[in-house]
Amino acid sequence: MTESPDAINLNMSRFVGRMIAPVAIAVLIALAAILTLIWVAARGQDQVAARTSSEIMNAVVSNLERDLGKLVFDYTWWDEALEKLVVNPDLEWAHETIGLHVAETYYVSETFVVADTDWTMFAYRNGVPSRDDALRYFGPGLMELISAARAKPMFKPEPVSAYLSHGSGIRLVAVSALTPENPTADQLVYGPRPVLIHARHMTPDLLAAVSAQFGFEGLTLSETAPVAGLDVLSHELRDGLGQPVGWLVWTPPPSGISAVH
């Protein structure tokens, strides 16, 4: 019996449909696999971008700490500073050298000289003399840094630094013991030493400058721990006991998943 044209067409459509369905499913599976691979690759790119951004931030923060530490060290392993700040205090020299000069040149927000008996001999805020007591200004956390600085060798003192909270925000604080360039045998006898303290306020302007130079998008300072993730990165700022006092928070450079979307 000869099939009608309509029957032939119907059978052909069914045959073609049976042929196309597996192919379509295979294509969809392949497409899904490709999209999954792209997503995984994009996710990997995001992880690389986040890791790279965090490594850059670690280097930037370490550099900030090292620079302020070197500054305070350069002033403390210096016979003239020891003479004019401790042995024969010179108010004019102190104002010009460790007060106004470091404030204007190195963006130091606070400077203190603390005697071996822990009383504040000199105090400056933004280059202007003040009556602040260093230990009251920063609280017990400063004493940890002072003790650590005094414990460093007299032949070559080393600065110590950490982050301390003050009422108006968080400071990077560096402390170094005032030490003779060539100490005598009598001076080498252990005992508390006077220290010089420089602090740098972690202001929005400072963060904006860091952000502009290194590309940290939306860089801010938070006093609460942010939620970890690839969309928000953070760097912990710690005090002298290793306890967090704040977090630098920023968004990593867009890549990976953002490009897929």
Tens of pLDDT, residue by residue over 108-154, are: 999 999 999 999 999 999 999 999 999 999 999 999 999 999 998 88
Collect all residues with Cβ–Cβ distance below 8 Å to 114 and sequence separation of at least 6: 120, 121, 134, 135, 146, 194, 195, 197
Q: What is the C-alpha to C-alpha distance for residues 81 and 90, in angstroms, rounded to an integer?
A: 10
Domain boundaries, the chain: 61-207
Long-range contacts: 117-122, Cβ < 8 Å, 24+? 117/192, 118/143, 118/146, 118/192, 121/85, 121/86, 121/89, 121/194, 122/85, 122/89, 122/94, 122/98
Q: Say which residue, 183 or 199, is predicted with more confidence.
A: 199
Distance (Å, rounded) from C-alpha 105 to C-alpha 259?
A: 43
- Residues 217 and 254: their CA atoms lie apart, in Å, by 10
pLDDT at 230: 60
Considering just the CA atoms, what is the radius of gyration of the chain in Å? 31
C-alpha 43/C-alpha 227 separation (Å) is 19
Work out the average pLDDT over 217-234. Answer: 84
Write down the CATH superfamily of domain 61-207: PAS domain (3.30.450.20)
- Per mean pLDDT, which range of 15-29, 39-53, 146-160, 203-217 is the poorest? 15-29
Distance separating alpha carbons of residues 203 and 211, to the nearest angstrom? 12
pLDDT at 19: 47
